[in-house]
Amino acid sequence: MPEAGPASSPTATAEVPAQRLAKVAILLSGRGSNFLALHDAMLRGEVPAEIVLVISNVAAAPGLARARERGLDVAVIAHRGEPDRATHERKVLAALRTAGAEWICLAGYMRRLSAELVGAFPQRILNIHPSLLPAFPGLDAQAQAWEHGVKVSGCTVHLVDAGLDSGPIVVQRAVPVEEDDDAHRLAERILRDEHRAYPEALRRLLTTPWRIEGRRCVFHEEAAANAAAAPPPENAEESVAEDAVRG
Amino acid sequence: MPEAGPASSPTATAEVPAQRLAKVAILLSGRGSNFLALHDAMLRGEVPAEIVLVISNVAAAPGLARARERGLDVAVIAHRGEPDRATHERKVLAALRTAGAEWICLAGYMRRLSAELVGAFPQRILNIHPSLLPAFPGLDAQAQAWEHGVKVSGCTVHLVDAGLDSGPIVVQRAVPVEEDDDAHRLAERILRDEHRAYPEALRRLLTTPWRIEGRRCVFHEEAAANAAAAPPPENAEESVAEDAVRG
């Protein structure tokens, strides 16, 4: 469940499984290439997580078909036909809870999340955006960047808050704009980096102590290195991601 | 003189000196470390340019003392005591013209240029800014970036227009934000990249055909490679920087 850190689960047994996997739900509306990159990284053992549910608001989303091919649980929860946003989101939230999702990774999910849904998974919802935020939020970020004439763009994995592409930044990767780029070629090259950045971000959140300071997402690599050698202290000051930091 | 391209100087002799140096004026208000980086690169022969004047609006600017040590012509044109901005800028403009400046490089010049001054050197004024624009324009860009929690920042060399840090981008260099950074350490590491980016930008503008498309500064490296082997066509379509592209 999306409770934060070991301090909130004092009754947890001391024998935390060495390979406890975080339970991740994916929300997508299209091809879901970032979902596939995340899943591939999990299957390779690079990210200590498993996908418990893939939700799409679009029945025909190609990403949903790929999820079925991979034997993952899927749910179509269409927003069309619902009387309002709240009704749709209640169904999404119910599905997430039934699946036992602890983390949500947005992978081309073309709907804004309400403050209620964000509040139900505080600091446990990730999104990826094809620019170096805070530059070029919103739609068509790659075309925005190309037209602006930047020489460096990239991608951003961030925690989701109630704003638009505005939550604390977890990972960014810079991608140079080449002289012979157009917006499409630039988007393709950024996408290749997205497929690395998203697994890297989730891996770091699950394996390295971190906390939010102001709006910075601060990782403590040293603490992570120590945690590999010794069990974490009983009253860890750090907010660690679930109990994935292993003693 | 700041006229654009060879098309505007049809009477120019065919024997363009192979090492014709662009005449650059520097405007600074402080230590001028980017001025020194530019000058060093010129002295090493990496940028086909020479500094014809260093102007400061602050008599005590350390960069001015360094310019004198290097035997460069300097001018103190204080804005304090002037009745208005226009009077100050007229003096700056007169000094630039007397020195025969073709390009202006701002190096920590803490005053906005008026549209009149910008218009007197169209696409011939450069500035450097310690962020990846359009993110974090204005003052204290490094601290803005650090507090925002970006994982990648950098620096931007851009042509100056009448806006704030808004002109077409010539060169950007990405600088990763390290976990143990503070705003000061980040600023120091960005500064090291500024000292590379600024000479690189001026060198490219002087040696590679380029033009402004929309708000993109587009370089044509292939044309530059060809120009090294053959003289440029009589009616070059490209806007090239002065006549620094050599036949």
In this complex, do A169 and B179 lie within 8 Å of one another by their Cβ atoms?
no
Q: What per-residue confidence (pLDDT) applies to A234?
A: 43
CB A54 within 8 A of CB A26: yes
Would you state the pLDDT for residue B242?
A: 38
B125-129 vs B152-159, strand pairing mode = antiparallel
Percent of chain B clearing pLDDT 90 (strictly above): 75
* pLDDT of B99 strictly over 90: yes
Shortest CA distance to A233 belongs to which of A209, A212, A203, A217?
A209
The answer to whether B133 and A134 are in contact (CB under 8 A) is no
Compare CB distances from A149 to B147, B217, B221 and report the shortest one's residue.
Answer: B217
Which residues does chain B have within 8 Å of residue A216's beta carbon, measured at their own beta carbons? 146-149
Predicted TM-score (pTM) of the model is 0.84
Q: Which DSSP string corresponds to B68-82?
A: HHTT--EEE---TT-
Note whether B107 and B128 are within 8 A (CB): yes
Exposure pattern of B60-73 as b/e (b: 16+ CB <10 Å)? ebebbebbeeeebe
Compute and round to an integer the Cα radius of gyration of chain B.
18
State which residue of chain B sits closest to A221, comparing Cα positions: B179
- Which residue has tokens 């405007």? B27
> Do residues B231 and B35 make contact, with C-beta atoms less than 8 angstroms apart?
no
Q: How many CA atoms lie within 13 A of A113 on its CB side?
A: 29
3-state secondary structure of B9: coil
Q: Where are the alpha helices (DSSP H) in chain B?
A: 33-43, 62-69, 85-99, 115-120, 141-148, 183-207, 221-229
For A71-102, how does the pLDDT look when each residue is reduced to its tens digit (9 = 90+)? Answer: 999 999 999 889 998 999 999 999 999 999 99
Please write the tens of the pLDDT for every residue from B184-240.
Answer: 999 999 999 999 999 999 999 999 999 999 999 999 877 666 666 655 444 443 444
Residue B244: pLDDT above 50?
Answer: no
Which residues of chain A neighbour B219 with C-beta distances below 8 Å? Answer: 179
Mean pLDDT score across all residues of chain B: 87
Report the SS3 class of residue A190.
helix
| Residues of A belonging to the active site | 129
In this complex, how many residue pairs, one in chain A and one in chain B, have their CB atoms less than 8 Å apart? 77
Report chain B residues touching chain A, CB-CB < 8 A.
132-136, 146-152, 154, 168-174, 176, 179, 214-221
What value, to the nearest 5°, has the Cα angle with vertex B13 and ends B201 and B225? 40
DSSP-derived pairing of the beta strands A125-129 and B125-129: unpaired
Do residue A151 and residue B135 have CB atoms under 8 angstroms apart? no
Q: How confident is the model at residue A46 (pLDDT cuts 50, 70, 90)?
A: very high
Closest residue to A219, CB basis, from B134, B176, B179: B179
By the 8 A CB rule, do A118 and A160 touch?
Answer: yes
| Chain A residues within an 8 Å CB radius of B169 | 148-151
Position B89, amino acid: E
Residue A24 and residue A54 in contact, taking contact as beta carbons nearer than 8 Å? no
Domains of chain B: 21-207 (3.40.50.170)
B42: left (phi over 0), alpha (psi -120 to 50) or beta: alpha
The stretch A30-50 carries a mean pLDDT of: 98
* C-alpha distance from B145 to closest chain A C-alpha (Å): 9
- Chain A CB contacts of B217 below 8 Å: 149
- The A-side interface with B (CB below 8 A) comprises 132-135, 146-152, 154, 168-174, 176, 179, 214-221
- The backbone region for B29, taken as left when phi is positive above 0, alpha when psi lies in -120 to 50, beta otherwise, is alpha
Mutate to test the interface with A, among B123, B151, B204 (most CBs of A within 10 A): B151
